[in-house]
Structure 1
Amino acid sequence: MNFYNIKISFKNLLKNKLVSSINISGLVIGITISLLVFAYVNKEKNMDQEIADIEYTYTLLNEKDPDISSAMVRHVRSEIPEIEAITFARYTWSPQDFLKKENTDYKLQNLLIADSCFFKVFQFETVYGDPKKALNTADKIVLTQSVAKKIFGDENPIGKELLYNSTNLQNVIVEVGAVIQDLSHHCSWEFDAVLSLDTNYKISWFKSSEEYWGTQNYSAFAKIPSNIDAEVINRKLANISTDNIPEGYREETKFEIQPFTKAYNDLPEIEILKHGNQLTLNIIQIIGFLILLLACINYINLVTAQKIKRLKNIGILKVMGSKKAKVVELIAVESALVLFITFILVIVLSNFLLIGLNQITNSEFTLAEIFSGSNLIIFIGLLAFTFVLTGIIPGIRFSRSQTTALLKNTVNSRSQNHLRNTLLIFQFSITIILLCGILLINKQNNYMSELDPGFDKEQILYAATNPQIEKSSSAFNSEIKRIPEIADYTYTSAPLGYNQSNWALSMINKGEKQEIGFANLFVSPNFFDFFGIKLVQGKQFNHYSEENADWIFNATAFKQFNIEKPEDAVIPRNGKVGKVIAEVEDFNHESIHTSIRPIAFRSCGETNEYIYFKINSSSVASTNRCIRSINKVWENISPNFPMEIKYLDASWEALYKKEKQFQRILNYATIISILLSCLGLISLTYFIVETHTKEIGIRKTNGAKTFEIVKMLNADLVKWVFIACIIACPIAWYALHTWLSGFAYKTELSWWIFALAGIIALGIALLTVSWQSWRAAKINPVESLRYE
């Protein structure tokens, strides 16, 4: 009998190939997409959980700011002995870093500089050596496994020596102290190697800058014992001794610790970590649940519509003596067969879409990871629940129904139609919300792309320089001037948008001393003219500004530091009294996620760590010719440090990659939502046509035209979409208004977004059902009247 039921179920599926395909494909797509979304959400919510004792690891903040100086860390270390270990780290100052073995150079993409306690705080999985002791002295380096294998193959590299070359430090022999496993995509850290901080004392300016309390260029992290509560440490930090803190900084020193696991979402200022966005993640998770819900609704609607055609068959079986258990078994086997096919196809489709998921989210998911943990429970539970809902319950219900009711096809009640319509309204509410989201996010991303940052960024290239370029700067600059495609060039100490230099110094303003904090950037004298940044008052840098230690502040700094005129303020530092000589207009020296903050400019003279080139033509051929000419000059002067040219507009756009990623995810989610909503419409229209076949025949016999029949079948559709709009628009407004609040610069939440979303939803609905309605209206009335 079981084999017979399976055979009958196969015949029923093949008999209605189109409907069966729609039924299964909708469920497969919905479950697959939701599982992929849930896997991504689980990864984002559980970042860094693979690191041992991460629950006892904290980020050190000063006045809620994660930018910390090494002097601050040393002070906390000496004053709070309850802290088990405390460390500080940052990316290398050098734009380019190489490790050399024999005659081969290996470039490091992300080199971290950390003190000796780094691996005492963060305990990564070890491959070779002891990371806790690996950074105890200068000239030590810890490699990740992939870098170690690239350089040394499969041999143990502990104790082996490499030549370290960078744009700040050259020809330093470093020893491999340990090798750790590659950082997984579940880790917010992103580095290839970690260099001992003491190695940098070979840099002439490094030691002097380390002595300043206000040189806040690091991020600091602490590990506390498991038996000590974090609040105990915070109370001690709040009452920390200020005796050894320099005057002027004591009132502004307010330390606290925050769980490290919160840094991923809450502290985007920490540039040595990858970051997420909790609000965006919550939205993506909700979308995953909604897609899953849509798929289940469609499946239930289609199964319900199909069951109507089986009522007379079941009635005949009962007339011929079939027991209730046999009826239940027949319905259950058919449902189980569909769900088994769904189970197989979900695994196949997940494997197919895995590459796309990894590309969109910059992750490294595997199929085993998709079907593990909570995802596996959801998957199995969903199939079991759907089996009960579409197999067991309908089987029991039909088995208990009166045979006459089954034969007369009167089992379905008006309440079922209301439920089906309610589910459809729910589907379109979701679709309209997602359409509103897509429209606004596109509008916001376009706004960010088109917003004038306050400086020219078109037709500008830049590259990191190096000691060879700086040593031969006169010759290099002379050759650059001869390239006809270059209109101008300038130097800076960091790329615009990616400056990590934060200073805190004393300033004398109108005779009164005050402590100020700001971003700092060294620039060539022509920097402001090059980027089209206008002077508000004062005078620009000249050839003597570097020697005179002149300063230029932006308008925000003038306002925040209460400077009325440039000549009112001076900054004593390193035995010199530098004058504030000018105020420049505000521009976005960081991404527009944050408001413009104070920035100070110093003259770097004729060269620095980055050079910008302004191209005098927008043609691709001219740009490529210019790059080849620059590269030729570069290779002659700097053969050991290859030129890595970048486009300023592209690097500026890269600051908003998280928003672009969110937009792509929402685009795909909306497409899936629209597809599932269309399947829901097909199921409903199919049901309506099935239940109105004879009515259509009678109307056509009485002279009704095709257009009138189509209008009748589509009559309620506009009403359903209108109700969905009323439900969706307030929800969408609240969600999008909350999302926009995370931007310092944002577009308007215009009314037309909601109107257009509703119109698009209605258009999709009409296009979906009209074809099926037209087919039903064109059926010969004789066939309709004979329909059983």
Structure 2
Amino acid sequence: MKAGVLFRSLFRSKLNSVIIIVSLAIGLACVNLISVFIIRELKTDGFHQYKNQIFALQADDPWEEGEKMYYSREGSAEYMKDNFAEVEDFCRIINAGPPKVIVNNQEYFDEKMTIAVSSNFFEFFSYELIYGNPKKALESEQNVVISEELAQKYFGNSNPLGQQLVFGKSDGQEEMTVSGIFRKPNENTQMIFDMVRSVGNKNSRCYLQLSENANIELLKEKFAESKDEIPIVHDGTPGTYYLKGLQDTYFDTSRRQTIEASRDKADLKIAFVIAMMILGVAVFNYLGLVNNRLSEKTGEHSIRRINGSSKMNLASGFLAESSMLVLIAFISSFILLIWALPFFNSLTGSDIPLQSLLQSDYLMVFIGIVGFIMVITFIFVLTKVGLKINISALKSGKLISTGKIYIPAFNISQLVVSTILIAGSLIITKQINYITNKDIGINKEVLEVKIPRQYKNMSAIFKDELEKNSSVEMVSVAEASPVLEHYLVLLHYDENGQDKQYTPSVNVGDENYIKTLGIKLVKGEGFSESTESNQNKCVINESLAKIFPGQDLIGKGLPGSDNMIVAGIVKDFHYGSLKEFVEPGYVAYGNDGSYLMVCPVVGQQAMVRKAVQEIWGEKIPDFPLKMESIGDRYEWMHRENRNYAKLIGACCLISVFLSMIGLFGVSYYTSRKRIKEIGIRKVNGAKIFEILSLLNKDFLKWVSISFFIATPIAWYFMKEWLDGFAYKTNLNLWIFFLSGIIALGIALLTVTFQSFKAARRNPVESLRNE
């Protein structure tokens, strides 16, 4: 088909063409973006030369029975390299971030992660050094390799090699020499760092590089057999080391350290399902509108068949039109994809660079999706076009359906997807609201102020100053934040001659800690005002007390730590995610921490923030103030769930919009096909309401069918998602009914406009040629 004829044909059916282009462009943009995300995540650290030979070293976790931790004792990796032929090399990695960096008398705070590693780091892993020697860059512990971005920030366009910078530390300052510049990879990597320095043989996270043909299972057996010789993490554990592949570690969400990023594979599964749902809606839209277009061309095809055209000739012309529409939609989808990329990165916590979209493996996926759509189109058109000569279609203005089952099937599928996403969005929002409003047992208005460790002695001074402020209700000194910064201890106790153990979480604070945080004391006196009498005392939570039913622990030694006297029992408070039940724990007394907990008078938080800033400016002007509320910390802890809500909500809106334009196209086609029938009915006295009912009843049936299909699917998947929370909202039936009502409202809003227009049309116009 000639280009001019092709474009004229598309222009004659402007509405159909525009809806197809818009629908496919949005659908392809979403699917392509999610595909890039999934592939990029699955290929994390795939750029390392020895990726298949690098394994993380794991050990038995002494604090959580049956769990493993990414940690190894000093000397363990050295023993393995010297005694097992399969182990060719190792590399240690620990967090070594300085509180501040000084360059040319300019101070920089809150720089990103600095890691301390073995000197072979840049040979072991394949991070690119653009300046410096990979073998020698980390020979000295006073050498540092920085990122390309930091080199530009610190030194501008001058040569950074050999330049000096100073790390501000708790025990003074340390001069470092820049020995290399590395370029951050375009590919995804789990290691988070901007500066690298060397470290000696220390307890740390460790990676092993094995020989190319190493038998992993056999090596694990050797570890078990040699456990008495290999230094272990803790004497109370089996002492066996384990191996986990470099790329597999990225999907291990149990890692608690901040050196590496991690991703739950469930994220990728959810993303894949969402992509398929949106692609399904877009394709169903497309095929439904293709079906409309075929119906419009039935008369033309019948004439051409009478004149001798083959079925393939008819199909080729139509396929040329469809191919042009898909091509335009594909190009448009790239524009939408570029526009949506920053928003998508913020929702998923990923960092997909724009240039990566042009990589060959991603482009192959894009082309594959378009190819899939074209194959479906080819099959669909061949099964429908020119099957027989339709004499009735030769009458002017007569539209003949190419098959009644297709339009309902396509639109029911769209409405099913939309209803599922609407229900999912409502349930996730309900759970987020539950998390936000749930009483966590701690006053969320309390402010945390982190004091630099070298100024730890200023905690008491800050406390005294703030207690003089009328906007401050109470102040406490603590060792760490009560949210996510507790530590674990392993305690053994004797029960009827049997050795038992438990692992309570520990927070440390002064005599005001319980009252400042608003934690409810349910039994005992708690900490007293006297510093002397609080020594070696603790307050336990209800979960810990339940471990010892029938025992009155008040005034007695804590089981497993008899020198720690229990001064009271407090109501369980949440210091972790709501995905987990509150663990047994206690608050130990201590008044020399580097955190301040400041409880403002109700409605006075802004005044307290201002007071803290003023005191900070007087006492510690050299360091930036780090202050946030307990509520802020709690929100941050559940940010992933909020991002899910936004992502599902965005996909829900996209799906609804695609369904709306699809329904609009179908209702336009339906009203045109029945325009003479409507004219006859109006001549015979039919009212507008009756005609609207006639035109809309099929759409109402589709919504009803889609509701009954979507409800059990949505219920199953959302129940699975909610089961990931220890504390969750109820899965009420009203949510699914509301989803159905919303879907019904959207459908009626979309089709009624077109139906009303057809119902109001003057019947003379439609019957003048009869």
TM-score of the superposition, structure 1-length normalised?
Answer: 0.86
1:613 matched to 2:598: yes
Aligned to 1:699: 681
State the Cα distance separating 1:438 from its structure 2 match: 0.5
Aligned to 2:149: 146
Q: How does 1:65-84 map to 2 (within 5 A)?
A: 65-67=67-69, 71=73, 74-75=75-76, 77-78=78-79, 81-82=83-84, 83-84=87-88
Give 2:557's aligned amino acid: A
Structure 1: segments with no counterpart, 5+ residues: 202-209, 211-217
Alignment counterpart, residue 24 of structure 1, candidates 21, 24, 32: 21
CA distance in 2, matches of 1:151, 1:509: 61
Q: Percent identity?
A: 27
1:295 matched to 2:297: no
1:761 matched to 2:743: yes
State the Cα distance separating 1:769 from its structure 2 match: 0.8
Shift of the 386–447 alpha-carbon distance from structure 1 to 2, 3 Å rule, reads same
State the Cα distance separating 1:86 from its structure 2 match: 4.8
Q: How does 1:651-662 map to 2 (within 5 A)?
A: 651-662=633-644
Question: Does the 8 Å CA contact 1:490/1:524 hold for their aligned counterparts?
Answer: yes
Task: Look up the SS of the partner of 2:165 in the other structure.
Answer: strand
Q: How does 1:384-423 map to 2 (within 5 A)?
A: 384-387=371-374, 389-390=376-377, 394=381, 398=385, 401-402=388-389, 404=391, 406-407=393-394, 416-423=403-410
State the Cα distance separating 1:362 from its structure 2 match: 3.6
1:41 matched to 2:61: no
Structure 2: segments with no counterpart, 5+ residues: none
State the Cα distance separating 1:447 from its structure 2 match: 1.2
1:58 matched to 2:59: no
Alignment counterpart, residue 242 of structure 2, candidates 252, 256, 261: 256
Aligned to 1:557: 544
Give 2:29's aligned amino acid: T
CA distance in 2, matches of 1:599, 1:138: 39
Aligned to 1:348: 335
Aligned to 2:420: 433
Shift of the 467–363 alpha-carbon distance from structure 1 to 2, 3 Å rule, reads closer
Aligned to 1:214: none
State the Cα distance separating 1:306 from its structure 2 match: 2.3
Question: Does the 8 Å CA contact 2:190/2:250 hold for their aligned counterparts?
Answer: yes
Aligned to 1:589: 575
Question: Does the 8 Å CA contact 1:508/1:570 hold for their aligned counterparts?
Answer: no
Give 1:186's aligned amino acid: N
1:180 matched to 2:166: no
State the Cα distance separating 1:147 from its structure 2 match: 2.1
CA distance in 2, matches of 1:258, 1:545: 49
Once the two structures are overlaid, the 10-residue window that deviates more, 371-380 or 746-755, is 371-380
State the Cα distance separating 1:161 from its structure 2 match: 3.5
Question: Does the 8 Å CA contact 1:311/1:409 hold for their aligned counterparts?
Answer: no
CA distance in 1, matches of 2:155, 2:496: 61
Task: Look up the SS of the partner of 1:494 in the other structure.
Answer: coil
State the Cα distance separating 1:313 from its structure 2 match: 3.3
Q: How does 1:492-503 map to 2 (within 5 A)?
A: 492-499=478-485, 501-503=487-489
Give 1:116's aligned amino acid: S
Shift of the 403–512 alpha-carbon distance from structure 1 to 2, 3 Å rule, reads closer
Aligned to 1:569: 557
Shift of the 385–557 alpha-carbon distance from structure 1 to 2, 3 Å rule, reads closer
Give 2:601's aligned amino acid: N
Question: Does the 8 Å CA contact 1:509/1:570 hold for their aligned counterparts?
Answer: no
Deviations along 1:81-126, one digit per CA (max 9) or x if unpaired, are: 434445554545x8x7111123111224343454537827644332
Shift of the 741–398 alpha-carbon distance from structure 1 to 2, 3 Å rule, reads closer
Deviations along 1:584-613, one digit per CA (max 9) or x if unpaired, are: 3321112222222233433331x4222122
CA distance in 1, matches of 2:254, 2:230: 30
Q: How does 1:597-746 map to 2 (within 5 A)?
A: 597-605=583-591, 607-618=592-603, 622-746=604-728
Shift of the 324–439 alpha-carbon distance from structure 1 to 2, 3 Å rule, reads closer
Task: Look up the SS of the partner of 1:51 in the other structure.
Answer: coil
Aligned to 2:467: 481
Aligned to 2:7: 10
State the Cα distance separating 1:556 from its structure 2 match: 2.8
Task: Look up the SS of the partner of 1:171 in the other structure.
Answer: strand
Question: Does the 8 Å CA contact 1:58/1:222 hold for their aligned counterparts?
Answer: yes
Over the residues paired in the alignment, what is the CA RMSD in angstroms? 3.6
1:285 matched to 2:272: yes
Question: Does the 8 Å CA contact 1:88/1:118 hold for their aligned counterparts?
Answer: no
CA distance in 2, matches of 1:699, 1:686: 19
Deviations along 1:537-584, one digit per CA (max 9) or x if unpaired, are: 4553455469944444433334447875155436999xx954454443
CA distance in 2, matches of 1:761, 1:115: 56
CA distance in 2, matches of 1:129, 1:21: 56
More helix by share: 1
Alignment counterpart, residue 313 of structure 1, candidates 300, 306, 323: 300
Deviations along 1:664-693, one digit per CA (max 9) or x if unpaired, are: 111111111111111221232223223222
Task: Look up the SS of the partner of 2:56 in the other structure.
Answer: strand
Task: Look up the SS of the partner of 1:266 in the other structure.
Answer: coil
Shift of the 719–614 alpha-carbon distance from structure 1 to 2, 3 Å rule, reads same
- Number of aligned pairs? 758
Shift of the 77–751 alpha-carbon distance from structure 1 to 2, 3 Å rule, reads farther
Once the two structures are overlaid, the 10-residue window that deviates more, 49-58 or 249-258, is 249-258
Aligned to 2:168: 165
Give 2:217's aligned amino acid: E
1:490 matched to 2:476: yes
CA distance in 2, matches of 1:197, 1:571: 39
CA distance in 1, matches of 2:536, 2:116: 30
CA distance in 1, matches of 2:754, 2:359: 41
